[in-house]
A = this chain, B = another copy of it.
């Protein structure tokens, strides 16, 4: 009774409530039956208001955006092909079990499918885990593959500006048992080729090695079981100050302040081969086998980067940690330096990282525990959505547009009534593999057609007219120069 009363109170304005207060139950029952009666008279309930929108955190890409995206992706794919990559395709959803235990805390961001009486399914969160599943399932050891596809994360898009819940990932990975650091350095070469080919501006590629980080944590006194959690704190150094990260390591991760301070000293280091040499002489660090092995790897890695001619773009940076658990060797991240490009909100569009990756030698084995040897992998994920954003902002700044079609010839009519003639000319052009279009109308002004050509940057117009048709000719007009030439249609 009290509960019912409370419910009523919450639903009703004060006036109704004061009446209800006098004889609550009776009043409610009477009102309810009145409403039910009215509802019955209405017949079917009125259709609920339909909201015309895309799902939260997703968006459509119109012709203009798609043209820019496909231009950039063409360049990226051509570089993947330059390096001999094949492509594969995997389903947009996986068995939930495939994704479980791969993303740590971020697993809560995975989209699940509804239980409609079958397997438990989830939308893919990245392309790396499905790739590893594919390798294990098909017992593939050697492959160099690229994959460009959408992935899904139930992130809060309002909080992370520019990040959507559906976005494109663009991955290149080399899997196979090879000499150390050669495929790893090639991944960096690919990053430089891609970033240079799209003219995105100045950048630097930070590199580090998980074994060096592990050794560093070991020698600083981080307990073994806290390596990964401290690593994810260090990973935040690109967004937070050391003071904040230090606080997190001490207060949230429960690590001694003296230990945190030691780590802090190391994270200040960045440089090239000379830093590797210096650290190789660091007695503390070299107590750890892991550090020594990591530093030797880094030395070789930097040597190959120099052979590839990209040494000047690579910085060995001890503060680089990378969030994902599955990395086992070299890790890297390309960061834009030129942030003068502004986005639609007037903020720098070049928001940091535009590519990242590393070596993950144990992930495939997670899918095939019976396997005795690992399937070593190294790969790079191009931050293509950020690149799109930067390039869109550049275009907007220069007030440029991209052509959304490749039409070469517009088939126009000088006066009404030439629809059949236009159809015939289009047929001839298409049969000759010349990209052409027309307005599908008898009645259309020549000016409107020429204006359309200018807007769409169509270079040529074929202009049909009654007298020309009688003489067996058409006019061909250069849309930019407005020059016109007559051409015979019979020869």
Contacts and interface: CB of A to CB of B under 8 A. Distances in A.
> Which residue of A63, A70, A183 has the most chain B CB atoms within 10 A of its CB atom?
A63
Contact of A93 (B58, B115, B133, B442): B58
A470 to B, nearest CB: 19
A67 B51 contact: no
A485 B242 CA distance: 59
> Which residue of A51, A93, A134 has the most chain B CB atoms within 10 A of its CB atom?
A93
A435 B89 contact: no
Interface in A403-438: 404-407, 419-420, 423-424, 427, 430-431, 433-437
A308 interface: yes
Given A116-B112, A138-B62, A193-B430, A179 B81 contact: no
B435 A92 contact: no
A82 B430 contact: yes
A346 interface: no
A92 B183 CA distance: 34
> Which residue of A62, A90, A174, A406 has the most chain B CB atoms within 10 A of its CB atom?
A62
A5 interface: no
Interface string A35-69: 00000000000000011111110111111001101
Nearest to A406: B81
Nearest to A152: B92
Contacts of A304: 423
Nearest to A69: B89
A145 interface: yes
B97 A50 contact: yes
A166 interface: yes
B427 A179 contact: no
Contact of A88 (B61, B92, B112, B145): B61
Contact of A183 (B60, B186, B440): B440
A436 B84 contact: yes
> Which residue of A176, A405, A434 has the most chain B CB atoms within 10 A of its CB atom?
A405
Interface string A441-481: 11000000000000000000000000000000000000000
A253 to B, nearest CB: 25
Interface string A104-123: 00000001111110110101
Contacts of A174: 440
Contact of A87 (B66, B112, B121, B178): B66
A395 interface: no
Given A179-B419, A304-B423, A83 B430 contact: yes
Given A52-B133, A55-B119, A93-B55, A424 B60 contact: no
Contact of A419 (B61, B116, B137, B182): B182
Interface residues of A, number: 91
A307 interface: yes
A52 B136 contact: yes
A52 B435 contact: no
Contact of A63 (B88, B112, B309): B88
Nearest to A84: B437
Contacts of A121: 55
B89 A61 contact: yes
Contacts of A407: 84
Contacts of A84: 405, 407, 435-437
B91 A55 contact: yes
A70 B66 CA distance: 18
Given A114-B114, A435-B82, A91 B60 contact: yes
A126 interface: no
Contacts of A55: 91, 93-95, 119, 121
Contacts of A115: 114
Contact of A62 (B88, B92, B150, B152): B88
Contact of A116 (B54, B111, B150, B424): B111
Given A53-B137, A54-B94, A186-B440, 15 more contacts: A50-B97, A55-B121, A56-B118, A58-B93, A63-B87, A81-B405, A81-B406, A82-B433, A82-B436, A83-B435, A84-B436, A91-B166, A114-B114, A116-B154, A178-B440
Closest 10 CB pairs of A and B: A84-B437, A63-B86, A178-B440, A58-B91, A182-B440, A112-B114, A61-B89, A86-B404, A84-B407, A307-B423
23 contacts: A52-B136, A54-B91, A54-B94, A55-B93, A55-B121, A58-B91, A58-B93, A59-B91, A62-B138, A63-B88, A69-B89, A81-B406, A82-B434, A83-B437, A84-B435, A85-B405, A114-B114, A114-B115, A116-B154, A178-B440, A185-B423, A189-B427, A308-B423
